[in-house]
Amino acid sequence: MPTCTQVHQTCDLGNAFDGGRHARGKIGFVLLATEQTIEDDMFALRPDGVGIHFARAPIPDSITVESLARQADALAPAAATLLPDGSLDVVCYACTSGSLVIGEDRVHDELRKGAPGAKATSLIAGVLKALRTVGARRVAVATPYLGEINRQEADYMAAAGFEITNIQGLNIEKDSDMILVRPGFIAEFGASVDTPDADALFISCGALRSIEIVDILEQKLGKPVICSNQAMMWDCLRLAGLNDRIEGYGELLRDH
């Protein structure tokens, strides 16, 4: 039987701790409640030593301008659930269409309310940075969206200084259908939307399985291809001060 002294003995914890598994950085993503692609993509792109954490904001399985606009008030509460110890380095709203419908400034303000110690970004912010980084001014855009979202996206990108040479969508409303589009079809569709005068092709939407085909599509088209989840991870890593080069997912992650 242990003695009282042994039961109440405490350990010296002076040398007990290290930086943990994620000492290089911690990134949090606020997802749509319906999202089924982004988590897998972020784990596929995550460098060793980087932690990735997820929260979800309510939305019906209907991606419209109206449903996306209503997400604005849900961003801060969702972000607040991400590592409330304050160790989060970057927080990102992981929805391309939602971040352009709500607007980067409002999105970033809401994220900062929930995670005040983290650098705030959004998927559309990452895409615009990525396009500028690869030197693109004229851009062809392939999306799964309804026409009303495509119109907003074209206007948003034009206001940010890009010339949209072509934008086409698949007219899909449900997030649960967007996740089912075959990567091979995405590559074919993206190639059909590209124009000779475009400096880059942008495949929009985090629900699409685009990271699987971005590298081979770049080789086929002979120009940079930016897709939502590739650009989002690149942006978050750079905001976290991490300059890892990642092969197999296009010029952006490989060279920039």
Q: Give the confidence band of 8 by pLDDT, cuts at 50, 70, 90.
A: low
Q: Given the DSSP bridges, would you call strands 119-122 and 50-57 parallel, antiparallel or unpaired?
A: unpaired
pTM of the model: 0.94
Lowest-pLDDT choice from 13-22, 23-32, 82-91, 244-253: 13-22
The sign of the dihedral angle between the CA atoms of 121, 27, 142, 191 is positive
pLDDT tens profile 159-188: 999 999 999 999 999 999 999 999 999 999
Quick check: 202 and 127 in contact, CB under 8 A? yes
Q: Tell me the three-class secondary structure of 59-72, residue by residue.
A: CCCCCCHHHHHHHH
Q: Which domains does the chain have, with CATH numbers?
A: 25-123+231-249 (3.40.50.12500), 126-227 (3.40.50.1860)
The secondary structure of 157-218 as a DSSP string is HHHTT-EEEEEEE-----HHHHTTS-HHHHHHHHHHH--TT-SEEEE--TTS-GGGTHHHHH
Mean pLDDT of the chain: 95
Quick check: 160 and 132 in contact, CB under 8 A? no
Amino acid of residue 16: A
